[in-house]
Amino acid sequence: MRIAMIGTGYVGLVSGACFADFGHQIICVDKDEGKIAALKAGKMPIWEPGLEGLVAANVARGRLKFTTDLAEGVAGAEAVFIAVGTPARRGDGHADLTFVFEAVRELAKVLDRPTVVITKSTVPVGTGDKIAAILAEEGAPAGTTVASNPEFLREGAAIADFKHPDRIVVGADDDRARHILKEIYRPLFLNKAPILFTGRRTAELTKYAANAFLAVKISFINEIADLCEAVDADVQEVARGIGLDNRIGSKFLHPGPGYGGSCFPKDTLALLHTAREAGVEQRIVRTTVEVNDARKASMAGRVAAALGGELAGKRIGVLGLAFKPNTDDMRDSPSIPLITALLEGGASVHAFDPAAREQAEPLLPGAEFADDPNAVAEGADALVIVTEWDEFRALDLVGLAQRMRGDVLVDLRNVYDREEAEEAKLRYFGLGRPGPSAQE
């Protein structure tokens, strides 16, 4: 099937490459000439494991192409996916649909046949109705329909998630759109991936509801971690104890410095905005946002407490900058408020991340950046683990301790056990675990 993908960001590029790998003919369209030139040269705009090889293989087979020409991209397409950004709007947190509606208006003018227009972008309830209205106003071919197909991709595992999904949600109000999307995803039927057909508005809301619920789980276990510290319990064991209940599940029950990234922060705010417009209170989601904001703001205080309450003149090494491992995404990363507060407190910060340095440097102008953990530890009064990259799970703690001036390890991801750190002559401060904590 011939498919156009408008947008070559995280969702558009991963989706386009995976659809091409299914055997479809894909053209990815983007206005950014530099990005398209880079993609044609084989350079990826994002860091995602396996993506570069997947793109290269399908370009070589002639199934994946890139262009800045929208008319060329959609010519003869049976389906057009819209996968442009919907960032949180300043002031009210509502999803900014500027790029979506601009793409739709331009699309309507160049479609050469009745087409199914599908939103991959995360959009508020009712956006599909507005897209349908714009297509009609701008003279799109009669019979053009609109569907919603939200993505559920985890950064760092996006290709596996796309090819082995928990579910495929399709929001469509007509049989033709359902048929086209069923054909697009037919290769996944071999994996017995469940496909859920719903109304368009239901599909739009499903994406926000899913992310909000996962954000609730994260904020919940973070608050339980604080309680564990107060009563000398172990949050790791508490999480395992409740996670083994199949009604709850073990995923997203890992305490940390707060959630970040491209989805949870903006999607929870957008859901709250939608609820306000509908006159419906969402107290659980609102509290989740408040808990997460407070969580991220409190992390520098934990580091200060571990150092005896004083940051001025201290040298602090930070391991991990991206909001999660296996990505270079710095959007709403907990490392940003942490490092900013440490610098404001008079500390010097030396940081290392395996992938996110290029993205992080403009966001953290006061920090210095190192090429490896050893350089970060050199002369440091404290080391802080912020992102749980695999390579941080097997550090030479003895070697790092010998390079340090101080002896503090603040583990905001509970990567290590206290015994391991103490054997290396480090004072260990984790989250929600027995013994001394960074809050003491």
Question: Is pLDDT of 154 > 70?
Answer: yes
Same-domain pairing of 146 and 103: yes
> Which pLDDT score is estimated for 435?
62
Same-domain pairing of 246 and 138: no
Within a domain: residue 378?
A: no
Same-domain pairing of 103 and 165: yes
pLDDT tens for each residue of 24-62: 999 999 999 999 999 999 999 999 999 999 999 999 999
Same-domain pairing of 191 and 228: no
Same-domain pairing of 170 and 215: no
Within a domain: residue 353?
A: no
Within a domain: residue 179?
A: yes
Residue 91 pLDDT class (50, 70, 90 cuts): low
pLDDT tens for each residue of 55-84: 999 999 999 999 999 999 999 999 999 999
Question: Is pLDDT of 105 > 70?
Answer: yes
Percent of the chain topping pLDDT 70: 98
Question: Is pLDDT of 283 > 50?
Answer: yes
Same-domain pairing of 138 and 61: yes
Within a domain: residue 414?
A: no
- Annotated catalytic residue 28: no
CATH number at residue 280: 1.10.1040.10
> Which pLDDT score is estimated for 117?
98
Per-residue pLDDT averaged across 413-432, rounded?
Answer: 96
Last residue of a domain, one of 172, 198, 224: 198
Q: Is the dihedral of CA 145, 146, 147, 152 positive or negative?
A: positive
Last residue of a domain, one of 231, 260, 289: 289
pLDDT tens for each residue of 234-254: 999 999 999 999 999 999 999
Within a domain: residue 22?
A: yes
Within a domain: residue 231?
A: yes
Question: Is pLDDT of 355 > 80?
Answer: yes
Residue 439 pLDDT class (50, 70, 90 cuts): very low
Within a domain: residue 125?
A: yes
> Which pLDDT score is estimated for 90?
74
> Which pLDDT score is estimated for 440?
43
Per-residue pLDDT averaged across 191-209, rounded?
Answer: 94
> Which pLDDT score is estimated for 436?
57
Same-domain pairing of 221 and 92: no
Domain that holds residue 50: 2-198
> Which pLDDT score is estimated for 39?
97
Q: How many domains does the chain have?
A: 2
Within a domain: residue 439?
A: no
Compute the mean pLDDT over every residue in the chain, rounded to the nearest whole number.
Answer: 95
Last residue of a domain, one of 198, 232, 249: 198
- What pairs with residue 388 in β-bridges? none
> Which pLDDT score is estimated for 16?
98
Same-domain pairing of 20 and 124: yes
pLDDT tens for each residue of 378-404: 999 999 999 999 999 999 999 999 999
Per-residue pLDDT averaged across 19-24, rounded?
Answer: 97
Question: Is pLDDT of 118 > 90?
Answer: yes
Same-domain pairing of 105 and 33: yes
Same-domain pairing of 78 and 189: yes
Same-domain pairing of 179 and 234: no
> Which pLDDT score is estimated for 413?
97
Same-domain pairing of 59 and 188: yes
Residue 215 pLDDT class (50, 70, 90 cuts): very high
CATH number at residue 75: 3.40.50.720
> Which pLDDT score is estimated for 66?
98
